[in-house]
Structures are given as structure tokens and as C-alpha cells.
Structure 1
Amino acid sequence: MVMKWDAFLSAVQERGQYSSRQEAERATRVVIALLGAHVVGSERSELAARLPETCALLLLNPLPAAEPLGPQRFVRATAAWIEGATEETAKWDVSAVLSVVADAADDELMRRVLLQLPPGYDLLFGRPQPT
């Protein structure tokens, strides 16, 4: 079942403890657009199919990535795109958004998405994998 935009934003706002819906929406748009540059193929379309339309469009039409970013660099890139963000606040933003994305996906899809990403993203999604 596809999560609705309002429900998605509410979940991000709650997890990120944002004071406004605008903060949650800004974090969501940046993180999903960056994620779209790193997830490809059927996993990207399957993930998009489980997210609200606004997220799906951002995921399917990503900012192009020159190279795969490790988790730390993904957080830094997020900080660069969010006005006034620091690396610490960006890590919070990334985790708030990606944990909601992980909830929208099932375990099997998340396993395949994480296989495409450099090691360490499991923690950003709030789904630590056994080593």
C-alpha cells in the first residue's frame, strides 16, 4: 500500500522532531532526491511505487550523482543542500526521512536497496544489519 504524502510528512516531522511541516518537507525533498541518485533499476521503481507521488517523482528524477556517496558524504551532501544545516542536523534529517522510507518498504526490498548502497547506509535507514 502506498503511503500518503500527509502521513509521510507527519511521520518525518515526528521522527525529526521538527517544529514545522515545512522543515519536514524540506528535509524530505532533499534526502529523497539524493537517494534517487544512488538507487537504480527495479529497486528504485519498486521503492517509488511505495512512496507518495511527490517522493516517487523526486526518486525517479534524481539529481545525477557523479559517484556513489558513502554514508558520511551523503550526510554532507544533504547539509550542503539544506540552508543553515550542519553535518549534525543533516544526519538527523537523513535518518528521519530514510527511516520513514524504510517503513514504507518491506524487508526484502530494503535488503536489495541496501545492497546497492555503500556500507553504512543501514544505520541511516535505522535498520542496522548484522556484520
Structure 2
Amino acid sequence: MRNDAFLEAVRERGAYASRQEADRAARVVLALLGAHLVGEERNRLAARLPETYALILLNPLPAAEPLSAERFVRAAAAWIEGATEETALWDTGAVLSAVAEAVDADLMRRILLQLPPGYDLLFGRPGEA
């Protein structure tokens, strides 16, 4: 996926006024996601993203423990300047739903199997785990 297409998908889903806002959300959410995915699934996902975002996904700080979907959103809120849990939930959904559109159903299922319950909703794919 090209950088422009990915950022535009995030911008539209998040109803952001600018691409800079979409970029900020994408960087935070993908850094957090990368800390929770391992192996082939993380590599295959990175291959579907623009290079800038693939590198963020592939080079995260390792997570000390798996975060529930709720704690993932709280972590995003802590990393996004001026965010609340409500706005971070919006940001997370905008980015992860764009990610879900970039991958096939098999990879999406395998990603969800690596994550705690509840992430299917963040990706906009309820019941796919």
C-alpha cells in the first residue's frame, strides 16, 4: 500500500482535519501494535504497509505484558498529546480499521489470535477472533 493511500484511509476513518493528525495517530497506534505482535504475522503485516509505517511496526519497544484492548487504548491516550481515552479509542479504530483493510482475512485472523480478546472490535472486525 502506498503511503498516500494509507494516510488518506486513516484520515477519512478518523475524520481528521489534516494528514498530520492522521500520521500522528498512525505512528502511535502502530508502535503499540508492533510491541504486541511477533513473528511471521508482524512481518506479513509490515509488508502490507507503507515503508515508514512498516518500520515503526517492526521496531517497537517490547511490551512488558500483553495489553487488553482497553489498556491498549489507554496507552495510546498516554502517547498522543492532548488525547483522552475517548479520542484515543477513535484514533485506534481509525488506524486499525485501515490496517484491517490492507490485509487478507487469513492474516487478520492470525493477528487477532496473537492479541487478547477485544481487539477484533478495535480493528472493526467484531467476531473475527
The CA RMSD measured in Å over matched residues stands at 1.0
Paired AA for residue 91 in structure 2: D
Closer/same/farther in 2, CA of residues 104 and 130 from structure 1, 3 Å limit: closer
Name the counterpart of 2:127: 129
Closer/same/farther in 2, CA of residues 16 and 49 from structure 1, 3 Å limit: same
Name the counterpart of 1:62: 60
String of CA shifts for 1:66-104, please: whole Å, max 9, x gaps: 100000000000000000000000000000000000000
Name the counterpart of 2:117: 119
Identify the range of structure 1 (121-130 vs 81-90) with the bigger mean alpha-carbon deviation: 121-130
| Separation in structure 2 between the aligned mates of residue 100 and residue 107 of structure 1, nearest angstrom | 14
Structure 1 residue runs without a partner (length 5+): none
Secondary structure of the corresponding residue to residue 82 of structure 2: coil
Name the counterpart of 2:26: 28
Paired AA for residue 27 in structure 2: R
Secondary structure of the corresponding residue to residue 18 of structure 1: coil
- TM-score of the superposed pair, with normalisation by structure 2: 0.98
Name the counterpart of 1:14: 12
* Structure 1 position 130, deviation (Å): 5.9
